[in-house]
Structure formats: C-alpha cells, structure tokens
C-alpha cells in the first residue's frame, strides 16, 4: 500500500489524467474504475477483470515476479503489463550470498555447536573452501543477477552468466553466455562452483534444472534459487542431494509453497531454506514509484516500458510435458 504522499506523487505524474484510488479489497470500486480506465496500477496480479476492461491499455503490477500475469491472453488482448522488478534487487542478491556463505561455512553445523556450547573442530571442515577464487554462475541477467555479479566480484569470484538474449559482457562478468547464441548450458554448469538462479519462470525455464543438469554439475557445487521453485525439478534436486551429486542447496522458493512439512528438503544438513521472504531495502516503495513514474513518461512518449512482459515470458502452468 502506498502512503498519502506517495499517492500524491503518482497523482501528479498521471496529471492531467483523472486519478482514482481504490482499495484492493473494494471489488465494486475496482469494477467501476475499470469501466473507463486506460491505465491501472495494482498490488497483485492480473485477473479476468483487467483482461475484460474495455479501455485498458497498460497495467502495472507492483511486485517483481510477473509469472502469474504472463498469460497468453495478455498478448492476444494487446495489453501492456509491467512490474516493479529491481526494487529489491540489492537485498535479493545479498540473500543469495547469505545462502552461499551459510553453505560454504557450514552455518548449520556451527550454530549447532554453539547451541550445544561446544568449542571443537567440525569433522571435515579442513576441506571446506571459502568463496574467494571460486566461480559464480548466474542464470539470468536481470536486476537481481546484476547485483549478484557485482557482489561476486567483491568476494573475489570469477563470474559467468547464462542468459536468454545475447549482450555485451559487463564489467562485473568474466564470461557472458546466451541461449539465443547457441551457447551450451552444459558448459556453463561444468564451470560453476556456486550457481545462483535469478531467471524468470517461463515455459522455457520450467525444470531448467533436472536430473541431467545436476549430474553435469560438480559434486562440490552449490545451487541457490532466488527465482521461482518450478525452475528446479524438485524431485531431481532431492535425489541429487541424497546421492551427493551436488554439495548443497539454498532455497528461498519451493514447489509447492509452503513447502510441506514432510518434504525431505527440511532435513538435509546441506540445505538452507527461507520461506520466500527477504528483508526489504529501506527505499523499496520509492523505487517502485520511480519505475511507475518513468513508465508514465515512456507510455505517453510511445517508448518501450521498463519491465514489460513479452511473449517469450509466457508461463502456462497447466501444460503437460
């Protein structure tokens, strides 16, 4: 929810257009507004009300992951849909390194020793490696991935990126690979010591990590998922952890969510789980508003909007493989 001063900034940015503020739970008010609205800024995801609105041309969903809104009907309708990706990128990237550090340093084992009031060496700890000098592999190269790359270099890591579209190699990236260029995903997996997933969930990325990919990874490698649970085939992940094909996992997302209490993922000593929650950056809402305000300018100028969905982002969760 926006504070009054933040709403006022949006009101000024949309002027001279009529600005109507409706509470998210006011279904009748939303229905009335959508009868004549050209643009909508909403807190959640698209539903049938917005797809059926007669004049609507652009919807901004004020959150980062637009998977639930990336529906084929959006593009059939010609609707522009944008999100607030990037507003929490620094915190999400730090969350990824929380996992990497916790796994590299065996935080669970160390906390167990502390809880037991025991000062002693953990068996096998002499074989553990810090992050310095290791290779960070990032899947995706959006806002969060860029922050991950920057932090990776700060930790003294070699950074490789696997993304969809080709792009120039950034200063914080040692190797930039692209599926559109035909770069093999397997060679990316061969090199990475820590894999951080920061890609969108689409029909193309669903189960991007499955049995073959885990078998290809180093048995000392860590996989960290800061994106969406369905990008990983969770049964394959459990088997890879059980057999030692990979060394550990950091999971902020799962399939399903909440992760059921009976899932074996809870009990692996080399898995760290957070319940899809990250501490906020102090200016997160201001970052959201900045994105909307810039997109208002672009919309009026007929320029491409920030964080706009494309047909390649479509996700149809009810499909059958």
Q: Which is catalytic among the residues 276, 287, 294, 298?
A: 276
Quote the tokens at residue 20. Answer: 């109507």
| Residues 166 and 141 sit within 8 Å (Cβ to Cβ) | no
Say how far apart CA 196 and CA 137 lie, in whole Å.
Answer: 6
β-bridge mates for residue 225, sequence order: 197, 251
The β-bridge partners of 39 are 58
Token representation of residue 51:
């797809």
Residue 165 to residue 180: CA distance in whole angstroms? 6
- For residues 74 and 46, the answer to whether their CB atoms sit within 8 Å is yes
Q: Based on the residue annotation, tell me whether 8 is a catalytic residue of this protein.
A: no
Given 8, 76, 257, 311, the catalytic residue: 257
Q: How open is the CA angle 313-211-180, to the nearest 5 degrees? A: 35
List Cα–Cα distances, 150 to 153, 234, 239, 282, in angstroms: 5, 29, 32, 20
Peptide bond into 256 cis (omega under 30): yes
Task: State the virtual CA torsion across 104, 255, 140, 252 in degrees, nearest 10.
Answer: -40
Residue found under tokens 């007669």? 54
56 alpha carbon, distance to own chain's centre:
27
Residue 68 falls in the annotated catalytic set: no
Q: Is 276 a catalytic residue?
A: yes
Choosing from 164, 213, 228, 245, which is the catalytic residue?
A: 228
Q: Are 183 and 191 in contact (CB under 8 A)?
A: no
* Residues designated catalytic: 228, 257, 276
């Amino acid at each position: 929810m926006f504070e009054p001063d933040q709403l006022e900034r949006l009101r000024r940015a949309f002027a001279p257009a009529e600005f109507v503020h409706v509470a998210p739970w006011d279904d009748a008010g939303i229905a009335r507004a959508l009868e004549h609205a050209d643009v909508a800024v909403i807190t959640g995801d698209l539903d049938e009300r917005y797809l059926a609105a007669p004049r609507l041309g652009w919807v901004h969903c004020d959150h980062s992951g637009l998977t639930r809104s990336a529906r084929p009907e959006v593009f059939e309708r010609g609707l522009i849909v944008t999100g607030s990706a990037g507003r929490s990128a620094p915190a999400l990237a730090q969350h990824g390194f929380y996992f990497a550090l916790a796994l590299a340093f065996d935080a669970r084992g160390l906390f167990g020793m502390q809880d037991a009031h025991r000062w002693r060496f953990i068996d096998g700890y002499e074989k553990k490696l810090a992050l310095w000098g290791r290779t960070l592999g990032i899947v995706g190269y959006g806002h969060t991935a860029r922050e991950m790359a920057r932090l990776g270099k700060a930790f003294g890591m070699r950074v490789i990126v696997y993304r969809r579209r080709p792009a120039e190699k950034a200063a914080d990236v040692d190797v930039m690979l692209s599926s559109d260029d035909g770069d093999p995903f397997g060679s990316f997996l061969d090199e990475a010591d820590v894999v951080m997933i920061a890609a969108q969930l689409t029909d193309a990325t669903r189960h991007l990590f499955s049995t073959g990919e885990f078998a290809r990874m180093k048995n000392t490698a860590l996989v960290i998922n800061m994106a969406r649970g369905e990008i990983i085939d969770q049964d394959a992940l459990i088997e890879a952890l059980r057999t030692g094909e990979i060394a550990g996992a950091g999971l902020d997302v799962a399939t399903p969510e909440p992760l059921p209490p009976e899932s074996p993922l809870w009990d692996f000593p080399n898995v760290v789980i957070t319940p899809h929650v990250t501490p906020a950056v102090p200016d997160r809402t201001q970052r959201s508003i900045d994105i909307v305000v810039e997109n208002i300018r672009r919309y009026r100028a007929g320029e491409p909007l920030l964080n706009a969905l494309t047909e390649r982002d479509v996700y149809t969760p009810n499909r059958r493989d």
